[in-house]
């Protein structure tokens, strides 16, 4: 495949979540791998719910993830194109007016079920006379418009699912235009894919049935027909849908939690594939490993614990130069504490311990012991000071094990766990360490 053109088409009615981003990544990585173009299409035909704030938020989220697009456009600026396509379909008898109310359609479906028939639209509107249509409109009914399916079988080779076939006689003719004149997703999407010369439509498998109808619309409007790849949907670690929890898995939330973009990209690009889930340092590296053949058919399991673990591993391998504008302290501080954080925000806890004034925790029975430690400390702390201190105190006091080192750790850091104390002691320095061992704020 040379120079493919793909698109990601979010609606600006909310912020991007992990499900959206996985679809975006599949498109981006395929385009990068094949030297193609990634198009960002803003599906804002729902004028009431779409906002400029959400549109900008989507672009900000993608940019934060390192995604760049070669072209972008908004559907709300292309209604003349959709109107022209609708007029062509109407002229060919493929888009027809229907006047049933929602209640009437619901009653029709119930009667079909009782009769043992599939609950699909019965095409009664095709038999309406001009006089009957005029009578409906005199009542105040405005038509919705359905696309007339062929009733045959639509087949295509799906790049993920293999050979696919949809029996169109088992489907209702889809509504393309609502009674208020607004467009549903289906027609504008096809028109845009034709105009933008999209070569590959990569999206979730919940669109498989839609593809059957869209392929017929493609064929009715032009000779252009993209290839399709429908990827399995995301589920949680428990195997259940993530739909009810996607708000907490938005890019905004994850960014605020301190999750790094490449941790997100690495996890979403690898889950549900035959590759091991491992940290990658760039989208280019992920693209070099991308293949539709690696994507399985089972739902991809997204586990927040896996994301946190990947994020921790990434930070543990991150140099100071990469984060110096985002963290407190100097390079020595970063190199020592980074192995003890899972998210970048965790470093603030260690900054409070090392860089700010605080009093450690000293139990009454440990005060004399800690005072002895303070007296032994030299004026300059080195890499060997902690070992020498422990050896001295063990000989002087007879203490050993946790009773030897834990009171010192608590006095110096207030924490039972953390970086090695030889490193922490060097970060604190002799003056601050002596003061804390004496129960003084420093």
- CATH number given to 5-72+187-234: 3.40.50.620
The yes/no answer on whether domain 83-177 falls in CATH 3.40.50.150 is: no
Among the listed residues 311, 343, 309, the one whose alpha carbon sits nearest the alpha carbon of residue 326: 343
Query: Taking 70 as the threshold, does the pLDDT of residue 245 lie above it?
Result: no
Q: For the chain, give the percent of residues with pLDDT over 70.
A: 98
Residue 240, pLDDT score: 83
pLDDT (tens digit, 9 = 90+) per residue, 59-95?
999 999 999 999 999 999 999 999 999 999 999 999 9
Report phi then psi at 169, rounded to 5: -70, -10
Residue 220, pLDDT score: 98
Query: Taking 80 as the threshold, does the pLDDT of residue 244 lie above it?
Result: no
**Alpha-carbon gap, residue 437 to 442, rounded angstroms:** 10
Residue 246, pLDDT score: 60
Cβ atoms of residues 66 and 269 within 8 Å: no
Residue 247, pLDDT score: 61
Strand partners, 234: 300
The yes/no answer on whether domain 357-437 falls in CATH 1.10.10.350 is: yes
The structural domains of the chain, with segments of one domain joined by +, span 5-72+187-234, 83-177, 243-342, 357-437
**Alpha-carbon gap, residue 372 to 109, rounded angstroms:** 86
Cβ atoms of residues 7 and 199 within 8 Å: no
Token pair 């933008």 is found at: 196
Among the listed residues 272, 147, 222, 210, the one whose alpha carbon sits nearest the alpha carbon of residue 201: 210
Which helix or strand (DSSP H or E) is residue 385 part of?
helix 385-397
Question: Which CATH architecture best describes the domain 243-342?
Answer: Orthogonal Bundle (1.10)
């Amino acid at each position: 495949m040379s120079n493919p053109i793909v698109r990601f088409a979010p609606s600006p009615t909310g912020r991007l979540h992990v499900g959206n981003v996985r679809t975006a990544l599949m498109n981006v990585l395929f385009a990068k791998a094949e030297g193609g173009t990634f198009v960002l299409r803003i599906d804002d035909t729902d004028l009431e719910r779409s906002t400029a704030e959400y549109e900008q938020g989507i672009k900000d989220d993608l940019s934060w993830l390192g995604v760049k697009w070669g072209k972008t456009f908004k559907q709300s600026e292309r209604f003349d194109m959709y109107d022209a396509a609708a007029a062509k379909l109407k002229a060919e008898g493929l888009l027809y007016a229907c006047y049933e109310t929602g209640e009437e359609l619901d009653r029709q479906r119930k009667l079909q079920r009782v009769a043992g028939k599939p609950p699909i639209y019965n095409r009664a509107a095709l038999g309406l006379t001009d006089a009957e249509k005029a009578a409906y409109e005199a009542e105040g009914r405005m038509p919705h418009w359905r696309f007339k399916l062929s009733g045959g079988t639509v087949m295509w080779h799906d790049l993920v699912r293999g050979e696919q076939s949809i029996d169109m006689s088992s489907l209702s003719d889809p509504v393309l235009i609502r009674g208020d004149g607004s467009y549903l997703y289906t027609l504008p999407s096809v028109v845009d894919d034709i105009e933008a010369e999209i070569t590959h439509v990569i999206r979730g498998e919940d669109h498989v049935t839609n593809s059957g109808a869209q392929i017929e619309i493609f064929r009715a409007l032009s000779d252009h027909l993209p290839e399709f790849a429908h990827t399995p949907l995301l589920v949680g670690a428990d195997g259940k849908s993530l739909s009810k929890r996607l708000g907490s898995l938005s890019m905004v939330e994850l960014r605020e939690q301190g999750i790094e973009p490449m941790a997100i990209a690495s996890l979403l690009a690898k889950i549900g594939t035959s590759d091991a889930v491992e940290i990658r340092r760039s989208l280019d590296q992920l693209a070099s490993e991308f293949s539709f053949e690696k994507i399985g058919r089972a739902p991809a399991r997204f586990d927040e614990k896996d994301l946190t673990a990947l994020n921790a591993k990434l930070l543990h391998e991150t140099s100071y130069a990469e984060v110096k504008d985002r963290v407190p302290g100097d390079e020595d501080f970063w190199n020592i504490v980074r192995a003890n954080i899972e998210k970048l925000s965790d470093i603030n806890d260690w900054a409070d311990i090392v860089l700010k004034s605080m009093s450690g925790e000293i139990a009454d029975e440990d005060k004399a012991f800690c005072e002895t430690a303070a007296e032994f400390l030299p004026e300059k702390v080195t890499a060997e000071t902690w070992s020498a201190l422990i050896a001295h105190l063990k000989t002087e006091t007879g203490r050993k094990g946790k009773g030897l080192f834990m009171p010192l750790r608590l006095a110096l850091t207030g924490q039972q766990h953390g970086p090695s104390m030889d490193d922490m002691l060097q970060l604190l320095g002799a003056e601050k360490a002596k003061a804390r061992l004496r129960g003084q704020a420093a």
